[in-house]
Amino acid sequence: MTGFGYLLPYDFSPLTVLSFALVLGLYGVALLKMPEKERPGSVRILTFMVGVLLCYSVMQTRFDYYSQYMFFVHRGQHLILHHIGPILIALSNPLPILRFWYDKTGTRTRILLRPLGWLYRLLQQPVIASVLFVGLIYFWLWPPVHFDAMLSRQLYWIMNWSMLLDGLLFWWLIFDSRPPAITSALGYGKRILLLALVAIPQMILGAWIVFSRGMVYDVYEVCGRAWPMPPETDQLLGGLLTWIPPAMMSILGILIILRRAMHEDGKFTARKTATEGTPL
């Protein structure tokens, strides 16, 4: 297969291609039409593009084929869909782009979108968001469910899309750029606590897969593996990808939140000093 062939979809999904094309199209149009002073910087634009293209690549290139026939590649796919891609998108802060399109919508459209806003606010409740974030990982890795999902085209796409959408919701809650002191955004301390809490069950699940005796996910034996790799090695690598990288993502997230909190506290202190003046 040529290099170009690896970029073609293994299992073509018109909905997936159109969805990603629509996101990139709306983002590009907004960049061209919004005022220059409100436009995101080049680093933020690049971060957003990389995050979106990473998610697309694991869903609509040859990578998807290996994800269906190798457990450790599948875990890499979900690592990108649930963690890396959404983290990059959230860190790029697309809020100005969203605000631009929201201002373009009419009153009737806003009324129609109101139920989605209610659902969004419900899913952004810290307890619900964290339980859903970890719960989906456990649900799709529950051996009977995982077996059915890997053999059903519809379930397979539902699994991947649910991981991507949930990852976007959770990491936006964590990396919301609005300052908690003057907005309704979640406080920095609560964000750090959530990141620590969601890391623990992911580490437990990954360790269970690594140290399990026998094959936990025998669906890859039924379908056959893409490469002549021992089943035990495939499961070991998949368990490690479930165990270590997500924990590292939580640690990285905590460091970013701490940096933001310190930066905001420094700005608040400087503003307070300038307002009160320096005593003689």
Sign of the four-CA dihedral 122, 123, 128, 130 = negative
Residue 278 has pLDDT above 70, yes or no: no
Q: Does residue 277 register a pLDDT over 60? A: no
Q: Give the model confidence (pLDDT) of 73-89 as tens digits.
A: 999 999 999 999 999 99
Please give the structure tokens belonging to residue 69.
Answer: 């026939």
Q: What is the pLDDT of residues 11-37, one digit of tens each?
A: 899 999 999 999 999 999 999 999 988
pLDDT for 113: 80
Neighbours of 143 (CB within 10 A): 12
Q: What is the pLDDT of residue 184?
A: 87
The three-state secondary structure class of 226 is coil
Q: Decide: helix, strand or coil at residue 176.
A: coil
- Per-residue pLDDT at 207: 96
Check whether 279 has a pLDDT greater than 60. no
Question: Which of the four pLDDT bands, split at 50, 70 and 90, describes residue 2?
Answer: low
Q: Mean pLDDT score of the chain, rounded to an integer?
A: 91
Distance CA 237, CA 92 (A): 30
Record the tokens describing residue 161, joined without a space.
């899309």
pLDDT in tens, 122-173: 999 999 999 999 999 999 999 999 999 999 999 999 999 999 999 999 999 9
- 95-113 tens-digit pLDDT: 999 989 988 887 777 887 8
CA dihedral 63, 65, 69, 75 (to 10 degrees): 30
